[in-house]
Structure 1
Protein backbone atom coordinates (compact mmCIF):
# COMPACT_ATOMS: atom_id res chain seq x y z
CA UNK A 1 0.00 0.00 0.00
CA UNK A 2 1.24 3.46 -0.83
CA UNK A 3 2.50 5.20 2.32
CA UNK A 4 1.25 8.74 2.96
CA UNK A 5 3.83 11.35 3.86
CA UNK A 6 4.09 12.27 7.53
CA UNK A 7 5.91 15.58 7.05
CA UNK A 8 5.60 18.76 5.03
CA UNK A 9 8.95 18.37 3.24
CA UNK A 10 7.42 17.51 -0.11
CA UNK A 11 5.24 20.63 0.02
CA UNK A 12 8.33 22.81 -0.22
CA UNK A 13 9.12 21.21 -3.58
CA UNK A 14 5.79 22.18 -5.09
CA UNK A 15 5.99 25.81 -6.28
CA UNK A 16 3.12 28.22 -6.54
CA UNK A 17 2.04 28.20 -10.20
CA UNK A 18 2.16 31.17 -12.54
CA UNK A 19 -0.95 33.09 -13.56
CA UNK A 20 -0.53 32.31 -17.24
CA UNK A 21 0.65 29.30 -19.21
CA UNK A 22 3.77 29.42 -21.36
CA UNK A 23 2.93 26.83 -23.98
CA UNK A 24 0.09 24.39 -23.47
CA UNK A 25 -1.15 22.27 -20.60
CA UNK A 26 -4.10 19.96 -20.09
CA UNK A 27 -6.44 20.48 -17.17
CA UNK A 28 -8.85 17.79 -15.97
CA UNK A 29 -11.66 18.29 -13.47
CA UNK A 30 -13.01 15.05 -11.98
CA UNK A 31 -16.55 15.51 -10.70
CA UNK A 32 -19.17 13.25 -9.22
CA UNK A 33 -21.04 12.89 -12.52
CA UNK A 34 -18.60 13.99 -15.25
CA UNK A 35 -14.92 14.31 -16.10
CA UNK A 36 -14.09 17.51 -17.98
CA UNK A 37 -10.79 17.89 -19.83
CA UNK A 38 -9.45 20.95 -21.57
CA UNK A 39 -6.35 21.99 -23.47
CA UNK A 40 -5.32 25.39 -22.13
CA UNK A 41 -3.21 27.93 -23.96
CA UNK A 42 -2.53 31.33 -22.35
CA UNK A 43 -5.43 30.92 -19.95
CA UNK A 44 -7.96 29.97 -22.63
CA UNK A 45 -9.54 26.57 -23.24
CA UNK A 46 -8.85 25.74 -26.88
CA UNK A 47 -10.10 22.12 -26.88
CA UNK A 48 -12.63 20.32 -24.68
CA UNK A 49 -13.81 16.81 -23.92
CA UNK A 50 -16.28 15.40 -21.38
CA UNK A 51 -17.13 11.88 -20.27
CA UNK A 52 -19.36 10.40 -17.61
CA UNK A 53 -17.58 9.64 -14.32
CA UNK A 54 -17.53 5.86 -13.75
CA UNK A 55 -18.16 4.49 -10.27
CA UNK A 56 -15.60 1.69 -10.61
CA UNK A 57 -12.06 2.80 -9.61
CA UNK A 58 -10.33 1.02 -12.53
CA UNK A 59 -12.80 2.42 -15.03
CA UNK A 60 -12.37 5.85 -13.48
CA UNK A 61 -8.62 5.77 -14.06
CA UNK A 62 -9.19 4.66 -17.67
CA UNK A 63 -11.68 7.49 -18.19
CA UNK A 64 -9.27 10.15 -16.89
CA UNK A 65 -6.54 8.89 -19.21
CA UNK A 66 -8.91 8.77 -22.18
CA UNK A 67 -10.13 12.32 -21.49
CA UNK A 68 -6.57 13.62 -21.34
CA UNK A 69 -5.59 11.90 -24.59
CA UNK A 70 -8.62 13.36 -26.37
CA UNK A 71 -7.37 16.94 -25.91
CA UNK A 72 -3.60 16.48 -25.81
CA UNK A 73 -1.68 18.20 -28.61
CA UNK A 74 0.99 16.38 -30.55
CA UNK A 75 3.70 18.75 -29.33
CA UNK A 76 4.48 21.54 -26.84
CA UNK A 77 2.56 19.89 -24.01
CA UNK A 78 3.82 21.19 -20.67
CA UNK A 79 2.07 18.79 -18.31
CA UNK A 80 -1.30 17.51 -17.17
CA UNK A 81 -3.11 18.81 -14.09
CA UNK A 82 -5.98 16.99 -12.38
CA UNK A 83 -8.44 18.43 -9.89
CA UNK A 84 -9.85 15.61 -7.78
CA UNK A 85 -12.36 15.75 -4.90
CA UNK A 86 -11.06 14.74 -1.51
CA UNK A 87 -7.83 14.91 0.44
CA UNK A 88 -4.82 15.01 -1.89
CA UNK A 89 -1.23 14.81 -0.67
CA UNK A 90 1.55 16.98 -2.05
CA UNK A 91 2.76 14.17 -4.32
CA UNK A 92 -0.66 13.45 -5.79
CA UNK A 93 -1.92 10.60 -3.63
CA UNK A 94 -5.69 10.49 -3.09
CA UNK A 95 -5.73 9.98 0.66
CA UNK A 96 -9.44 10.05 1.47
CA UNK A 97 -12.74 11.74 0.84
CA UNK A 98 -16.43 11.06 1.46
CA UNK A 99 -17.49 11.26 -2.19
CA UNK A 100 -14.54 9.70 -4.06
CA UNK A 101 -13.88 6.31 -5.68
CA UNK A 102 -10.09 6.27 -5.23
CA UNK A 103 -8.59 6.19 -1.75
CA UNK A 104 -4.94 5.76 -0.69
CA UNK A 105 -4.10 5.70 -4.38
CA UNK A 106 -1.06 7.35 -6.06
CA UNK A 107 -3.05 9.01 -8.83
CA UNK A 108 -0.35 11.39 -10.09
CA UNK A 109 2.26 8.68 -10.63
CA UNK A 110 -0.27 6.24 -12.10
CA UNK A 111 -1.49 8.80 -14.63
CA UNK A 112 2.02 9.97 -15.49
CA UNK A 113 3.07 6.42 -16.32
CA UNK A 114 0.11 5.94 -18.64
CA UNK A 115 0.04 9.37 -20.30
CA UNK A 116 3.79 9.84 -20.58
CA UNK A 117 4.08 13.39 -19.22
CA UNK A 118 4.33 14.89 -15.70
CA UNK A 119 1.00 14.95 -13.87
CA UNK A 120 0.06 17.20 -10.96
CA UNK A 121 -2.98 16.30 -8.85
CA UNK A 122 -4.65 18.87 -6.59
CA UNK A 123 -7.89 19.04 -4.66
CA UNK A 124 -10.56 20.13 -7.14
CA UNK A 125 -11.80 23.10 -5.12
CA UNK A 126 -8.24 24.30 -4.57
CA UNK A 127 -7.62 24.17 -8.33
CA UNK A 128 -10.79 26.19 -8.95
CA UNK A 129 -9.73 28.68 -6.28
CA UNK A 130 -6.40 29.29 -7.98
CA UNK A 131 -8.11 29.85 -11.32
CA UNK A 132 -10.55 32.37 -9.82
CA UNK A 133 -7.72 34.17 -8.01
CA UNK A 134 -5.55 34.52 -11.11
CA UNK A 135 -8.04 34.77 -13.95
CA UNK A 136 -11.53 35.11 -12.47
CA UNK A 137 -13.51 36.91 -9.79
CA UNK A 138 -10.50 37.15 -7.46
CA UNK A 139 -8.29 39.21 -9.76
CA UNK A 140 -8.77 42.42 -7.71
CA UNK A 141 -7.42 40.62 -4.61
CA UNK A 142 -3.81 41.36 -3.75
CA UNK A 143 -2.96 38.58 -1.30
CA UNK A 144 -5.72 36.75 0.60
CA UNK A 145 -8.81 35.04 -0.78
CA UNK A 146 -11.12 32.19 0.22
CA UNK A 147 -13.39 30.26 -2.11
CA UNK A 148 -16.31 28.05 -1.14
CA UNK A 149 -17.77 25.67 -3.72
CA UNK A 150 -21.36 24.53 -3.26
CA UNK A 151 -22.18 21.37 -5.20
CA UNK A 152 -22.92 17.76 -4.33
CA UNK A 153 -20.65 18.48 -1.37
CA UNK A 154 -18.98 21.66 -0.12
CA UNK A 155 -15.35 22.34 -0.99
CA UNK A 156 -12.98 25.19 -0.41
CA UNK A 157 -9.68 26.75 -1.25
CA UNK A 158 -7.42 29.42 0.22
CA UNK A 159 -4.91 31.82 -1.23
CA UNK A 160 -2.83 33.36 1.55
CA UNK A 161 -0.08 35.92 0.90
CA UNK A 162 -0.55 35.30 -2.81
CA UNK A 163 0.10 31.57 -2.62
CA UNK A 164 -2.22 28.60 -2.77
CA UNK A 165 -2.34 27.41 0.84
CA UNK A 166 -2.12 23.65 1.32
CA UNK A 167 -1.27 23.27 5.01
CA UNK A 168 1.25 20.90 6.54
CA UNK A 169 0.17 17.77 4.65
CA UNK A 170 -1.72 19.12 1.64
CA UNK A 171 -5.13 18.84 3.31
CA UNK A 172 -5.89 22.47 4.17
CA UNK A 173 -8.99 24.50 3.24
CA UNK A 174 -11.60 21.79 3.75
CA UNK A 175 -14.10 24.55 4.45
CA UNK A 176 -17.03 22.20 3.97
CA UNK A 177 -16.01 20.35 7.12
CA UNK A 178 -15.91 23.30 9.48
CA UNK A 179 -18.39 22.88 12.33
CA UNK A 180 -21.29 25.30 12.43
CA UNK A 181 -23.75 23.32 14.59
CA UNK A 182 -22.17 20.95 17.09
CA UNK A 183 -23.84 17.52 17.48
CA UNK A 184 -26.47 18.20 14.85
CA UNK A 185 -27.05 16.85 11.32
CA UNK A 186 -24.34 14.48 10.07
CA UNK A 187 -22.76 15.14 6.68
CA UNK A 188 -21.46 12.60 4.15
CA UNK A 189 -18.10 12.54 5.92
CA UNK A 190 -19.72 11.44 9.17
CA UNK A 191 -18.82 14.70 10.93
CA UNK A 192 -21.75 16.12 12.94
CA UNK A 193 -22.69 19.72 12.36
CA UNK A 194 -20.36 20.39 9.43
CA UNK A 195 -21.03 22.97 6.72
CA UNK A 196 -21.55 20.23 4.12
CA UNK A 197 -24.45 18.84 6.15
CA UNK A 198 -26.36 22.11 5.66
CA UNK A 199 -25.02 23.90 2.58
CA UNK A 200 -24.49 21.20 -0.08
CA UNK A 201 -26.86 20.19 -2.85
CA UNK A 202 -27.26 16.83 -1.13
CA UNK A 203 -28.19 18.52 2.14
CA UNK A 204 -30.58 20.91 0.41
CA UNK A 205 -32.48 18.01 -1.15
CA UNK A 206 -32.59 16.11 2.16
CA UNK A 207 -33.93 19.15 3.98
CA UNK A 208 -36.57 19.61 1.27
CA UNK A 209 -37.67 15.98 1.52
CA UNK A 210 -37.93 16.30 5.31
CA UNK A 211 -39.99 19.48 4.95
CA UNK A 212 -42.39 17.78 2.53
CA UNK A 213 -42.75 14.82 4.89
CA UNK A 214 -43.60 17.27 7.70
CA UNK A 215 -46.36 18.81 5.59
CA UNK A 216 -44.63 22.15 5.03
CA UNK A 217 -44.89 22.12 1.22
CA UNK A 218 -47.81 24.34 0.13
CA UNK A 219 -50.51 23.06 -2.20
CA UNK A 220 -49.29 23.20 -5.80
CA UNK A 221 -45.61 23.36 -4.84
CA UNK A 222 -43.29 21.54 -7.27
CA UNK A 223 -41.50 20.20 -4.21
CA UNK A 224 -44.42 18.03 -3.17
CA UNK A 225 -43.17 15.28 -5.51
CA UNK A 226 -40.02 14.20 -3.67
CA UNK A 227 -38.94 12.01 -6.60
CA UNK A 228 -38.13 15.09 -8.69
CA UNK A 229 -36.49 17.28 -6.05
CA UNK A 230 -33.03 18.53 -7.00
CA UNK A 231 -31.09 21.67 -6.21
CA UNK A 232 -32.09 23.04 -9.60
CA UNK A 233 -35.79 22.34 -8.97
CA UNK A 234 -35.59 24.08 -5.60
CA UNK A 235 -33.86 27.09 -7.14
CA UNK A 236 -36.44 27.36 -9.93
CA UNK A 237 -39.27 27.05 -7.42
CA UNK A 238 -37.75 29.79 -5.28
CA UNK A 239 -37.47 32.11 -8.27
CA UNK A 240 -41.17 31.45 -8.91
CA UNK A 241 -41.99 32.42 -5.34
CA UNK A 242 -42.53 28.99 -3.75
CA UNK A 243 -42.55 29.63 -0.01
CA UNK A 244 -40.81 26.43 1.03
CA UNK A 245 -38.09 26.75 -1.61
CA UNK A 246 -37.43 30.36 -0.60
CA UNK A 247 -37.22 29.34 3.06
CA UNK A 248 -34.83 26.46 2.31
CA UNK A 249 -32.44 28.66 0.33
CA UNK A 250 -32.67 31.41 2.92
CA UNK A 251 -31.66 28.95 5.63
CA UNK A 252 -28.82 27.68 3.47
CA UNK A 253 -27.66 31.27 2.99
CA UNK A 254 -27.77 31.82 6.75
CA UNK A 255 -25.68 28.72 7.45
CA UNK A 256 -23.26 29.70 4.71
CA UNK A 257 -22.90 33.14 6.29
CA UNK A 258 -22.02 31.59 9.66
CA UNK A 259 -19.31 29.53 7.97
CA UNK A 260 -17.95 32.55 6.08
CA UNK A 261 -17.77 34.56 9.30
CA UNK A 262 -15.45 31.94 10.76
CA UNK A 263 -13.22 32.20 7.69
CA UNK A 264 -13.05 36.00 8.03
CA UNK A 265 -12.44 35.90 11.79
CA UNK A 266 -9.68 33.32 11.43
CA UNK A 267 -7.90 34.45 8.26
CA UNK A 268 -8.86 38.09 7.60
CA UNK A 269 -9.26 37.46 3.87
CA UNK A 270 -9.92 40.25 1.37
CA UNK A 271 -12.67 38.44 -0.55
CA UNK A 272 -14.79 35.30 -0.50
CA UNK A 273 -15.76 33.74 -3.83
CA UNK A 274 -18.73 31.37 -3.97
CA UNK A 275 -18.85 28.83 -6.81
CA UNK A 276 -20.22 25.42 -7.69
CA UNK A 277 -23.63 24.37 -8.95
CA UNK A 278 -25.56 25.93 -6.07
CA UNK A 279 -23.47 29.07 -6.42
CA UNK A 280 -25.52 29.76 -9.54
CA UNK A 281 -28.38 30.61 -7.17
CA UNK A 282 -26.23 33.45 -5.83
CA UNK A 283 -29.03 36.04 -6.00
CA UNK A 284 -31.11 33.83 -3.69
CA UNK A 285 -28.29 32.94 -1.31
CA UNK A 286 -25.67 35.61 -1.06
CA UNK A 287 -27.66 38.54 0.34
CA UNK A 288 -28.63 36.42 3.33
CA UNK A 289 -25.12 34.98 3.57
CA UNK A 290 -23.52 38.45 3.56
CA UNK A 291 -25.89 39.81 6.20
CA UNK A 292 -25.40 36.77 8.44
CA UNK A 293 -21.64 36.87 8.01
CA UNK A 294 -21.40 40.44 9.22
CA UNK A 295 -23.49 39.74 12.31
CA UNK A 296 -20.95 37.05 13.28
CA UNK A 297 -17.72 38.86 12.36
CA UNK A 298 -15.65 40.39 15.15
CA UNK A 299 -15.39 44.17 14.87
CA UNK A 300 -17.61 44.29 11.80
CA UNK A 301 -18.05 48.07 12.00
CA UNK A 302 -14.30 48.65 11.99
CA UNK A 303 -13.23 46.14 9.35
CA UNK A 304 -12.70 46.91 5.68
CA UNK A 305 -15.42 45.42 3.51
CA UNK A 306 -14.97 41.76 2.61
CA UNK A 307 -16.85 41.27 -0.68
CA UNK A 308 -18.70 37.98 -1.12
CA UNK A 309 -18.96 37.46 -4.86
CA UNK A 310 -20.06 34.71 -7.27
CA UNK A 311 -17.37 32.85 -9.16
CA UNK A 312 -16.72 34.11 -12.68
CA UNK A 313 -15.22 31.11 -14.48
CA UNK A 314 -18.14 28.74 -13.86
CA UNK A 315 -17.57 25.10 -14.71
CA UNK A 316 -14.26 25.95 -16.41
CA UNK A 317 -12.54 26.98 -13.16
CA UNK A 318 -11.45 23.47 -12.19
CA UNK A 319 -10.03 22.71 -15.63
CA UNK A 320 -8.20 26.04 -15.91
CA UNK A 321 -6.84 25.86 -12.36
CA UNK A 322 -5.56 22.33 -12.82
CA UNK A 323 -3.77 23.41 -16.00
CA UNK A 324 -2.21 26.41 -14.25
CA UNK A 325 -0.93 24.11 -11.53
CA UNK A 326 0.44 21.67 -14.08
CA UNK A 327 2.22 24.43 -15.98
CA UNK A 328 4.31 25.27 -12.90
CA UNK A 329 5.78 21.76 -13.00
CA UNK A 330 6.36 21.51 -16.73
Structure 2
Protein backbone atom coordinates (compact mmCIF):
# COMPACT_ATOMS: atom_id res chain seq x y z
CA UNK A 1 0.00 0.00 0.00
CA UNK A 2 1.21 3.53 -0.74
CA UNK A 3 2.51 5.48 2.25
CA UNK A 4 0.11 8.33 3.29
CA UNK A 5 1.56 11.82 2.86
CA UNK A 6 3.21 13.37 5.92
CA UNK A 7 1.00 16.32 6.99
CA UNK A 8 2.83 17.15 10.22
CA UNK A 9 5.06 19.72 8.52
CA UNK A 10 2.04 21.40 6.93
CA UNK A 11 0.23 21.60 10.28
CA UNK A 12 3.27 23.07 11.99
CA UNK A 13 3.63 25.63 9.19
CA UNK A 14 -0.05 26.63 9.51
CA UNK A 15 0.28 27.02 13.28
CA UNK A 16 3.39 29.15 12.85
CA UNK A 17 1.63 31.37 10.29
CA UNK A 18 -1.35 31.79 12.62
CA UNK A 19 1.02 32.75 15.43
CA UNK A 20 2.71 35.35 13.22
CA UNK A 21 -0.66 36.80 12.23
CA UNK A 22 -1.71 37.14 15.91
CA UNK A 23 1.57 38.86 16.78
CA UNK A 24 1.18 41.24 13.85
CA UNK A 25 -2.45 42.02 14.79
CA UNK A 26 -1.48 42.73 18.42
CA UNK A 27 1.29 45.09 17.32
CA UNK A 28 -1.11 46.94 15.02
CA UNK A 29 -3.66 47.41 17.84
CA UNK A 30 -0.98 48.63 20.25
CA UNK A 31 0.44 51.03 17.66
CA UNK A 32 -3.05 52.38 16.87
CA UNK A 33 -3.81 52.95 20.57
CA UNK A 34 -0.55 54.81 21.12
CA UNK A 35 -1.15 56.89 17.99
CA UNK A 36 -4.67 57.81 19.17
CA UNK A 37 -3.37 58.81 22.61
CA UNK A 38 -0.56 60.95 21.17
CA UNK A 39 -2.91 62.60 18.69
CA UNK A 40 -5.34 63.52 21.50
CA UNK A 41 -2.59 65.07 23.63
CA UNK A 42 -1.18 66.89 20.58
CA UNK A 43 -4.60 68.43 19.84
CA UNK A 44 -4.92 69.55 23.47
CA UNK A 45 -1.46 71.17 23.36
CA UNK A 46 -2.26 72.90 20.06
CA UNK A 47 -5.48 74.32 21.58
CA UNK A 48 -3.59 75.59 24.63
CA UNK A 49 -0.95 77.24 22.41
CA UNK A 50 -3.59 78.73 20.11
CA UNK A 51 -5.58 80.33 22.92
CA UNK A 52 -2.42 81.52 24.67
CA UNK A 53 -1.26 83.35 21.53
CA UNK A 54 -4.61 84.69 20.36
CA UNK A 55 -6.30 85.45 23.67
CA UNK A 56 -4.06 87.30 26.15
CA UNK A 57 -5.05 87.26 29.84
CA UNK A 58 -7.94 89.55 30.65
CA UNK A 59 -5.98 91.14 33.48
CA UNK A 60 -4.53 93.47 30.81
CA UNK A 61 -8.06 94.58 29.85
CA UNK A 62 -10.12 94.34 33.02
CA UNK A 63 -13.03 96.32 31.58
CA UNK A 64 -14.16 93.23 29.63
CA UNK A 65 -15.11 91.29 32.75
CA UNK A 66 -17.17 92.48 35.71
CA UNK A 67 -15.12 92.71 38.92
CA UNK A 68 -16.97 89.81 40.55
CA UNK A 69 -16.21 87.62 37.51
CA UNK A 70 -12.45 88.14 37.47
CA UNK A 71 -10.68 85.02 38.61
CA UNK A 72 -7.77 85.71 40.91
CA UNK A 73 -5.13 83.25 39.71
CA UNK A 74 -3.16 83.42 42.93
CA UNK A 75 -0.50 80.86 43.63
CA UNK A 76 -2.58 77.70 43.73
CA UNK A 77 0.60 75.70 44.06
CA UNK A 78 1.61 77.38 47.28
CA UNK A 79 -1.91 76.94 48.68
CA UNK A 80 -2.03 73.27 47.83
CA UNK A 81 1.48 72.59 49.07
CA UNK A 82 0.40 74.03 52.39
CA UNK A 83 -2.59 71.68 52.38
CA UNK A 84 -0.53 68.69 51.23
CA UNK A 85 2.10 69.39 53.87
CA UNK A 86 -0.42 69.60 56.69
CA UNK A 87 1.21 66.73 58.51
CA UNK A 88 -0.40 64.05 60.64
CA UNK A 89 -3.46 66.12 61.60
CA UNK A 90 -4.21 66.90 57.94
CA UNK A 91 -3.83 63.26 56.90
CA UNK A 92 -6.10 62.19 59.75
CA UNK A 93 -8.82 64.55 58.49
CA UNK A 94 -8.40 63.26 54.94
CA UNK A 95 -8.62 59.61 56.02
CA UNK A 96 -11.54 60.18 58.39
CA UNK A 97 -13.58 62.02 55.77
CA UNK A 98 -12.93 59.41 53.06
CA UNK A 99 -13.63 56.33 55.20
CA UNK A 100 -17.04 54.74 54.43
CA UNK A 101 -19.41 53.98 57.30
CA UNK A 102 -21.42 51.24 55.58
CA UNK A 103 -20.33 47.76 54.56
CA UNK A 104 -18.93 47.75 51.01
CA UNK A 105 -19.24 51.53 50.91
CA UNK A 106 -17.30 53.62 48.41
CA UNK A 107 -14.41 55.96 49.10
CA UNK A 108 -15.02 58.90 46.76
CA UNK A 109 -12.90 61.91 45.81
CA UNK A 110 -15.29 64.68 44.69
CA UNK A 111 -13.61 67.45 42.71
CA UNK A 112 -15.48 70.76 42.75
CA UNK A 113 -17.03 69.74 46.07
CA UNK A 114 -17.78 73.34 47.09
CA UNK A 115 -19.73 73.92 43.88
CA UNK A 116 -23.49 73.64 43.43
CA UNK A 117 -23.68 70.08 42.06
CA UNK A 118 -20.52 68.94 43.87
CA UNK A 119 -21.79 69.90 47.32
CA UNK A 120 -25.15 68.17 46.82
CA UNK A 121 -23.50 64.99 45.50
CA UNK A 122 -21.00 64.98 48.38
CA UNK A 123 -23.79 65.29 50.92
CA UNK A 124 -25.88 62.55 49.25
CA UNK A 125 -22.93 60.13 49.19
CA UNK A 126 -22.07 60.86 52.82
CA UNK A 127 -25.67 60.32 53.95
CA UNK A 128 -25.64 57.01 52.08
CA UNK A 129 -22.69 55.90 54.20
CA UNK A 130 -19.88 56.38 51.69
CA UNK A 131 -16.58 58.06 52.48
CA UNK A 132 -16.25 61.46 50.78
CA UNK A 133 -13.25 63.75 50.39
CA UNK A 134 -13.72 67.06 48.59
CA UNK A 135 -11.28 69.08 46.47
CA UNK A 136 -11.96 72.68 45.40
CA UNK A 137 -9.91 75.76 44.53
CA UNK A 138 -12.62 78.22 45.70
CA UNK A 139 -12.10 80.58 42.76
CA UNK A 140 -14.17 83.75 42.57
CA UNK A 141 -16.02 83.22 39.29
CA UNK A 142 -19.00 84.00 41.52
CA UNK A 143 -19.07 85.09 45.17
CA UNK A 144 -16.75 82.66 47.05
CA UNK A 145 -18.74 83.22 50.25
CA UNK A 146 -21.44 80.92 48.83
CA UNK A 147 -18.82 78.19 48.34
CA UNK A 148 -17.58 78.73 51.89
CA UNK A 149 -21.15 78.39 53.17
CA UNK A 150 -21.47 75.08 51.31
CA UNK A 151 -18.14 74.02 52.80
CA UNK A 152 -19.46 74.76 56.30
CA UNK A 153 -22.59 72.73 55.57
CA UNK A 154 -20.52 69.74 54.43
CA UNK A 155 -18.21 70.10 57.41
CA UNK A 156 -21.19 69.58 59.73
CA UNK A 157 -21.68 66.22 58.01
CA UNK A 158 -17.99 65.26 58.40
CA UNK A 159 -17.03 65.99 54.78
CA UNK A 160 -13.57 67.57 54.59
CA UNK A 161 -12.71 69.73 51.55
CA UNK A 162 -9.05 70.09 50.60
CA UNK A 163 -8.35 73.53 49.15
CA UNK A 164 -6.26 72.99 46.02
CA UNK A 165 -6.20 72.86 42.24
CA UNK A 166 -6.41 70.02 39.71
CA UNK A 167 -3.28 71.29 37.98
CA UNK A 168 -1.25 70.66 41.13
CA UNK A 169 0.15 67.18 40.48
CA UNK A 170 1.97 66.79 43.82
CA UNK A 171 -1.24 67.50 45.74
CA UNK A 172 -3.26 64.95 43.75
CA UNK A 173 -0.50 62.37 44.13
CA UNK A 174 -0.46 63.00 47.89
CA UNK A 175 -4.23 62.47 48.14
CA UNK A 176 -4.09 59.21 46.20
CA UNK A 177 -1.17 58.05 48.36
CA UNK A 178 -3.09 58.72 51.56
CA UNK A 179 -6.45 57.30 50.41
CA UNK A 180 -7.14 54.26 48.14
CA UNK A 181 -10.15 55.87 46.43
CA UNK A 182 -12.63 53.50 44.81
CA UNK A 183 -14.26 56.29 42.79
CA UNK A 184 -13.61 59.85 41.63
CA UNK A 185 -16.60 62.10 40.94
CA UNK A 186 -15.10 64.80 38.73
CA UNK A 187 -17.27 67.93 38.91
CA UNK A 188 -14.57 70.63 38.92
CA UNK A 189 -14.84 72.76 35.80
CA UNK A 190 -14.97 76.39 34.75
CA UNK A 191 -18.61 77.32 34.11
CA UNK A 192 -20.29 80.15 32.21
CA UNK A 193 -20.90 80.38 28.45
CA UNK A 194 -20.20 84.10 28.09
CA UNK A 195 -17.16 83.88 30.34
CA UNK A 196 -15.77 81.17 28.07
CA UNK A 197 -15.74 83.61 25.16
CA UNK A 198 -14.04 86.30 27.23
CA UNK A 199 -11.46 84.15 28.99
CA UNK A 200 -10.88 80.88 27.08
CA UNK A 201 -7.57 80.23 28.85
CA UNK A 202 -9.36 79.47 32.11
CA UNK A 203 -11.36 76.75 30.35
CA UNK A 204 -8.29 75.13 28.81
CA UNK A 205 -6.55 75.18 32.20
CA UNK A 206 -9.46 73.79 34.22
CA UNK A 207 -11.49 71.70 31.80
CA UNK A 208 -8.69 70.19 29.68
CA UNK A 209 -5.31 70.38 31.43
CA UNK A 210 -6.75 69.79 34.91
CA UNK A 211 -8.76 66.81 33.72
CA UNK A 212 -5.73 65.22 32.02
CA UNK A 213 -3.71 65.73 35.20
CA UNK A 214 -6.41 63.96 37.23
CA UNK A 215 -6.46 61.04 34.77
CA UNK A 216 -2.67 60.75 34.88
CA UNK A 217 -2.66 60.45 38.67
CA UNK A 218 -5.65 58.07 38.67
CA UNK A 219 -4.14 55.66 36.13
CA UNK A 220 -1.00 55.37 38.26
CA UNK A 221 -3.00 54.60 41.42
CA UNK A 222 -3.32 51.06 42.71
CA UNK A 223 -6.14 50.16 42.70
CA UNK A 224 -7.37 52.38 39.88
CA UNK A 225 -10.54 54.27 40.87
CA UNK A 226 -13.61 54.51 38.67
CA UNK A 227 -14.04 58.07 37.39
CA UNK A 228 -17.36 59.72 36.55
CA UNK A 229 -16.38 62.24 33.87
CA UNK A 230 -16.23 62.80 30.05
CA UNK A 231 -15.45 62.76 26.97
CA UNK A 232 -12.89 62.07 24.17
CA UNK A 233 -9.85 62.29 26.44
CA UNK A 234 -11.62 60.00 28.89
CA UNK A 235 -12.31 57.53 26.08
CA UNK A 236 -8.62 57.53 25.19
CA UNK A 237 -7.53 56.75 28.76
CA UNK A 238 -10.17 54.03 28.99
CA UNK A 239 -9.00 52.46 25.72
CA UNK A 240 -5.28 52.54 26.49
CA UNK A 241 -5.02 52.24 30.28
CA UNK A 242 -8.29 50.50 31.15
CA UNK A 243 -9.56 53.27 33.44
CA UNK A 244 -13.26 52.81 34.21
CA UNK A 245 -14.94 56.05 33.14
CA UNK A 246 -18.56 57.23 32.88
CA UNK A 247 -19.55 60.54 31.26
CA UNK A 248 -22.36 62.53 32.89
CA UNK A 249 -24.42 65.15 31.04
CA UNK A 250 -27.08 67.03 32.99
CA UNK A 251 -28.89 70.05 31.66
CA UNK A 252 -29.13 73.39 33.53
CA UNK A 253 -29.40 72.25 37.13
CA UNK A 254 -31.45 74.27 39.63
CA UNK A 255 -32.32 74.00 43.31
CA UNK A 256 -31.15 75.00 46.82
CA UNK A 257 -27.62 76.43 47.08
CA UNK A 258 -27.64 77.11 43.33
CA UNK A 259 -25.28 79.40 41.45
CA UNK A 260 -26.29 83.10 41.50
CA UNK A 261 -25.37 83.61 37.83
CA UNK A 262 -28.14 81.30 36.54
CA UNK A 263 -31.17 82.60 34.61
CA UNK A 264 -33.80 81.54 37.13
CA UNK A 265 -32.19 83.76 39.77
CA UNK A 266 -32.42 86.75 37.41
CA UNK A 267 -36.02 85.86 36.52
CA UNK A 268 -37.04 85.64 40.18
CA UNK A 269 -35.31 88.90 41.03
CA UNK A 270 -37.00 90.75 38.15
CA UNK A 271 -40.42 89.31 39.04
CA UNK A 272 -40.05 90.42 42.68
CA UNK A 273 -39.05 93.89 41.48
CA UNK A 274 -41.99 94.08 39.06
CA UNK A 275 -39.77 94.03 35.98
CA UNK A 276 -40.52 92.27 32.71
CA UNK A 277 -38.66 89.15 31.56
CA UNK A 278 -37.36 88.98 28.00
CA UNK A 279 -38.47 85.89 26.08
CA UNK A 280 -36.37 85.25 22.99
CA UNK A 281 -37.53 83.52 19.81
CA UNK A 282 -35.82 81.91 16.85
CA UNK A 283 -35.12 83.82 13.63
CA UNK A 284 -38.45 82.57 12.22
CA UNK A 285 -40.34 83.69 15.37
CA UNK A 286 -40.79 80.24 16.91
CA UNK A 287 -40.79 79.64 20.66
CA UNK A 288 -37.53 78.56 22.29
CA UNK A 289 -37.66 75.65 24.75
CA UNK A 290 -35.10 74.85 27.43
CA UNK A 291 -34.84 71.95 29.87
CA UNK A 292 -34.02 72.34 33.56
CA UNK A 293 -32.95 69.55 35.94
CA UNK A 294 -33.65 69.61 39.67
CA UNK A 295 -30.53 68.98 41.75
CA UNK A 296 -31.92 65.88 43.51
CA UNK A 297 -32.52 64.24 40.13
CA UNK A 298 -28.83 64.60 39.34
Same fold (TM over 0.5): no
More helix by share: 2
Q: Which has the larger radius of gyration?
A: 2
TM (norm. structure 2) is 0.30
Higher strand proportion (structure 1 or 2) = 1
| TM-score, normalised relative to structure 1 | 0.28
